[in-house]
Structure 1
Amino acid sequence: MRQALIVWGGWEGHEPEQGARAVKALLEEEGFGVRVETTTAAFADPALAELSLIVPIYTMSKLSKDEERNLTKAVEGGVGLGGYHGGMGDAFRESTDYQFMCGGQWVAHPGNIIDYRVNVTRRDDPIMSGIDDFSYRSEQYYMHVDPANEVLATTTFSGDHAPWIDGVVMPVVWKRRHGQGKVFYSSLGHAAAEFEVPQMRTIIRRGLAWAAR
Structure 2
Amino acid sequence: MAVTTHNTPARRALVVRGGWEGHSPVEATDLFLPFLRESGFAVEVHDSLDVYADAEAMAATDLVLQCWTMGEIEKAQVDGLIAAVAAGTGLAGWHGGIADSFRKSSDYLHLVGGQFATHPSKPADQRSGDQSDNYLPHRVSITSEHEIVAGIEDFDLDTEQYWVLTDDLIDVHATTTHPARADQPWHREVSCPAVWTRDWGEGRIFVATPGHSVDVLADPHVRTIVERGILWAARTGQQR
SS in 2 for 1:164: coil
For residue 157 of structure 1, report the CA deviation from its aligned partner: 0.7
Structure 2 match to 1:127: 148
For residue 61 of structure 1, report the CA deviation from its aligned partner: 0.5
SS in 2 for 1:130: coil
Q: 1:174 aligns with which of 192, 196, 200?
A: 196
- Where relative contact order (Cα < 8 A, 6+ residues apart) is larger, the structure is 1
For 1:89-104, list aligned pairs within 5 A. 89-104=99-114
One-letter identity of the residue aligned with 1:72: I
One-letter identity of the residue aligned with 1:71: L
SS in 2 for 1:5: strand
Structure 1 match to 2:224: 202
- Aligned residue pairs total 212
SS in 2 for 1:174: strand
For 1:4-153, list aligned pairs within 5 A. 4-46=13-55, 47-111=57-121, 112-122=134-144, 124-153=145-174
One-letter identity of the residue aligned with 2:15: I
One-letter identity of the residue aligned with 1:206: R
For residue 167 of structure 1, report the CA deviation from its aligned partner: 1.1
For residue 165 of structure 1, report the CA deviation from its aligned partner: 5.5
Q: Which has the larger radius of gyration?
A: 2
CA distance in 2, matches of 1:197, 1:12: 21
> After TM superposition, where is structure 1 displaced by more than 4 Å over at least 4 residues in a row?
none
One-letter identity of the residue aligned with 1:100: H
Identity %: 41
CA distance in 2, matches of 1:162, 1:7: 36
Q: 1:155 aligns with which of 152, 155, 176?
A: 176
Kindly provide the CA deviation profile for residues 83-130 of structure 1, in whole angstroms up to 9, marking residues without a partner as x.
0000000001111111111110001000111110000001x2111111
For residue 23 of structure 1, report the CA deviation from its aligned partner: 2.3
SS in 2 for 1:63: coil
CA distance in 1, matches of 2:174, 2:29: 23
Asked if structure 1 preserves the Cα contact closer than 8 Å seen for 2:85 and 2:91, the reply is yes
Asked if structure 2 preserves the Cα contact closer than 8 Å seen for 1:120 and 1:152, the reply is yes
CA distance in 2, matches of 1:156, 1:201: 21
Give unpaired runs (5+ residues) of structure 1. none
CA distance in 2, matches of 1:7, 1:45: 13
What RMSD over aligned residues (CA atoms) do the two structures have, in Å?
1.2
One-letter identity of the residue aligned with 2:218: E
Give unpaired runs (5+ residues) of structure 2. 1-9, 122-133, 236-240
SS in 2 for 1:67: helix
One-letter identity of the residue aligned with 1:35: E
CA distance in 2, matches of 1:98, 1:26: 27
SS in 1 for 2:186: helix
Asked if structure 1 preserves the Cα contact closer than 8 Å seen for 2:210 and 2:217, the reply is no
Asked if structure 2 preserves the Cα contact closer than 8 Å seen for 1:157 and 1:165, the reply is no
